[in-house]
Amino acid sequence: MPSARRGFTLVEVLLALAVLSVVMLLLLSAFTGAGRAREVLSARSREFRQVRLVMDRLGTELQGAFASAHRESSALTCREDQFSGKPAATLVFTAFRLPETDSGKPPAYVAKVRYFPRLSADGASLELHREQSDLPFLENRISPRESLVAEGLRGFRVELHDGSGWRREWPPEGRPKTAMPKRVAFELTGPRGDTYRREVFIPLAGQEGALTFSGRRAASP
Taking the C-alpha atoms of residue 70 and residue 133, their distance in angstroms, rounded to an integer, is 20
Q: What is the C-alpha end-to-end distance of the chain, expressed in Å?
A: 115
Is the pLDDT at 219 greater than 70? The verdict is no
- Contacts (Cβ under 8 Å, ≥6 apart) of 167: 159, 160, 161, 181
The domain limits of the chain are 51-201
- Contacts (Cβ under 8 Å, ≥6 apart) of 135: 106, 108, 110, 141, 142, 215
Is the pLDDT at 2 greater than 60? The verdict is no
pLDDT in tens, 38-68: 776 677 788 888 899 999 999 999 999 999 9
For 104, which DSSP code? S
The C-alpha R_g of the chain, in whole angstroms, comes to 29
pLDDT in tens, 102-156: 555 555 578 899 999 999 999 899 999 999 988 777 765 678 889 999 999 999 9
The region that residue 46 occupies, defined by phi over 0 for left and psi between -120 and 50 for alpha, beta otherwise, is: alpha
Q: Are 201 and 191 in contact (CB under 8 A)?
A: no
Burial of 185 (0-12, 13-18, 19+ CB in 10 A): middle
pLDDT of residue 1: 47
For 74, phi then psi, to 5°, come to -90, 0
Of 95-109, 181-195, 206-220, the range with the highest mean pLDDT is 181-195
Beta-bridge partners for 75: none
Higher-pLDDT residue of 156, 218? 156
**CB crowding 81-100: b at 16 or more within 10 Å, else e:** eebeebbbbbbbbbbebeee
Taking the C-alpha atoms of residue 218 and residue 94, their distance in angstroms, rounded to an integer, is 17
Q: Are 198 and 185 in contact (CB under 8 A)?
A: yes
How long a stretch of residues is the chain? 221
